[in-house]
Amino acid sequence: MKTTGIMIVGVGGQGSLLASKLLGNLLTAQGYDVKVSEVHGMSQRGGSVVTYVKFGDRVFSPIIDLGEADYIVSFEKLEAARYAPYLKKGGRIVTNTQQIDPMPVITGTAEYPQDILEELKNLGCRIDALDALSLAEEAGSAKAVNIVLLGRLAKSFHIEYDAWIKALETTVKPKFIEMNKKAFDLGYHS
Partner 1 sequence: MKKLMIGNEALARGFYEGGIGAVSSYPGTPSTEITEFLAKYDDIYSEWAPNEKVAAEVAFGASLGGKRSLCCMKHVGLNVAADPLFTLSYTGVNAGMVVCVADDPAMHSSQNEQDSRHYAIAAKLPMLEPADSDEALQFAKASFKLSEQFDTVVMMRTLTRIAHSQSIVTLGEREEAPEKPYEKKPEKYIMMPAYAKKRHPVVEERMKKLAEYAESCPFNRVEWSEDKTLGIITSGTSYQYVKEVFGDRVSVLKLGMINPLPKKTVKSFAQKVDRLVVVEELDGIIETFCRTLGLEVEGKKLFSPIGEFSQSVIRKAFGLKEPENVQLPNPVPLRPPMMCSGCPHRGIYYTLSKNKITVIGDIGCYTLGAQPPLCAVDTTLCMGASVSGLHGFNKAGEGAFESRSVAVIGDSTFMHSGITGLVDIAYNQSNSTVIILDNSITGMTGHQQNPTTGLNIKGDPAGKIDLEALCRSIGIERVRVVDPYNIEECEKAILEELKAPCPSVIISRRPCVLLKYVKLNAPLEISNDACRGCRKCMKLGCPSISFKNGHAVIDETLCVGCGVCKQLCAFGAIQGQGGKVQ
- Binding segment for partner 1 (CB under 8 A), chosen from 59-67, 146-154, 171-179, 180-188, is 59-67
Q: Footprint of partner 1 on residues 108-147 (CB under 8 A)?
A: 108-113, 119-120, 123-125, 142
Q: Which is nearer to partner 1, 84 or 183 (CB)?
A: 84
Q: Is 176 left (phi over 0), alpha (psi -120 to 50) or beta?
A: alpha
- Binding segment for partner 1 (CB under 8 A), chosen from 97-105, 146-154, 161-169, 176-184, is 97-105
For 16-80, give the secondary structure using H, E and C. HHHHHHHHHHHHHHCCCEEEEEECCCHHHCCCEEEEEEEEECCCCCCCCCCCCEEEEEECCHHHH
Integer Cα distance of 87 and 67 in angstroms: 5
Interacting residues toward partner 1 by CB under 8 A: 11-13, 24-25, 28, 33-48, 59-63, 65-68, 78-79, 81-82, 84-89, 101-113, 119-120, 123-125, 142
